[in-house]
Chains A and B, each alone.
Chain A
Amino acid sequence: MKVTVVRAGGIAGMVTTTTVDAADLDDTRTEALRAVVEGCSFRERPGPVAPAVRDGFSYEVTVDADDGSSHGVRFVQGTAPEGMDALLRFVDDEPAGRRETGR
């Protein structure tokens, strides 16, 4: 299983892509990642009609499963689908995550 988070916008306007591959994790962390992913909805949550947020982040989260299937969702800060905040945190905190900057 592989999780890819593209985060863009913000005051810096940078694009950061962070990838966590279960192949790089030990069994405990893999299990923890699986649990976090299972708690995630990939359905977009409707945001406010005319969002007034400026310099907020926008996200694209993709989960590639071992069976070849893939789930993805895009959302803006403050409208993350159920469970997605926990997945973003997991990816941010994972030392084995690989991070690249650039569009």
Chain B
Amino acid sequence: MHLCAIAPPSLLLRLAESGSEAAREAARETQRVSERLRGRRIAVARALREQGAAVPPDRPGVTANTVFDVEGGEESALPGRQVRTDGDPPSSDTAVNEAYDNAATTVAFYRDVLGRESIDGRGLDLVSSVHFGQRYDNAFWTGEQMVYGDGGGGTFVAGALTRSLDVIAHELTHGVTQYTANLVYEAQSGALNESFSDVFGILVKQRAGGIDAATSDWLIGEGALEPSLGKALRSMLAPGTAYTGDDQPADMDSYRDLPVDDDPRNDSGGVHINSGIPNRAFAEAARTLGGNAWETVGPVWYTVLTERLRANAQFADAAAATIAAAGERYGDGSREHDAVRGGWDAVKVVPTPDPR
């Protein structure tokens, strides 16, 4: 079952593109087999859940957490040289230790708060690579691992990408989404994909800092940008106010209907832009309830992400699903149920009518 872990898909992809004919065919076949196995594993887990049975993790509690140094290289050099894994002493490299500790904190959040074993729910090993590229101003999820640049290229403060727990939890949550709702990364489903990453990003940060919904600044990546640009990447409570030029809408009246095309300015139909709308719905609901958001609305959003959404879900579907899940969890007409409805109401998203 762990065939897919032997040769990383990125290597397979390279072989499939540029190896000898025999190697290309072998790599393609391995990719097909991996896909089938992954598909079967997901199908089995779904069947177990439908039977009301717990999905057994492959290796409960022993998710390996490993950090690699890609030493300025890019995609073809990933993951790089292994520098720290479980049981190793801290490295002399701050970025390595931050990537290690923040990934561990994120996985502990998913396990302790939501009962989820790692990214795939079955103990998938964590792979992070630091020092990607030169002064690279980004962090991203490749589909199988997390990657961090050093920043310092004009957008991010040097070192900020690994230092920011919410940035790391955001990237890791892209992995969780990939293994669950697998929201299509364009237009509204893509904005939901982005929003779930921000939601769990902020929840991991709030829990680690003991910050409740009323006290939180609801900022993603606070202090990560060059100060001349602004205070944070996104404001979940006041979208559009995080930095100069932040054009996130705060509700559906200012929704940005951008085309899904190859123009980089259009952001795959505004996935990082319109995510402000579901982000604020969450923050408003959490603030209405007060207390620890990871204990109130967090589990509702988690149930919806992992069990209730189609890959092409729209905002109205997410609204309906979170309202329904809040009603099931806390009772129809409970203050939690009302708070979630109020959150979507604040951003002017009308839930899809309940099909039942």
Contacts and interface: CB of A to CB of B under 8 A. Distances in A.
Interface of A: 6-16, 48, 51-60, 74, 77-78, 85, 89, 92, 99, 101-103
B285 interface: no
Contact of A53 (B141, B154, B170, B265): B141
Contact of A8 (B75, B156, B264): B264
Contacts of B233: 11-13
A54 B185 CA distance: 8
Contacts of B75: 77-78
Contact of B140 (A11, A74, A101): A11
26 contacts: A6-B265, A8-B267, A9-B264, A9-B267, A10-B138, A10-B140, A15-B265, A48-B13, A52-B143, A52-B144, A53-B140, A53-B143, A54-B140, A54-B141, A54-B174, A54-B178, A55-B139, A55-B170, A55-B174, A56-B138, A57-B138, A74-B263, A89-B134, A101-B155, A101-B244, A103-B265
Contacts, number: 104
Contacts of A101: 155, 229, 244-245
A77 B137 CA distance: 13
B262 interface: yes
Contact of A55 (B138, B234, B262): B138
Interface in B53-106: 74-75
Interface residues of B, number: 45
B272 interface: yes
B161 to A, nearest CB: 8
B264 A11 contact: no
B8 interface: no
Nearest to B232: A12
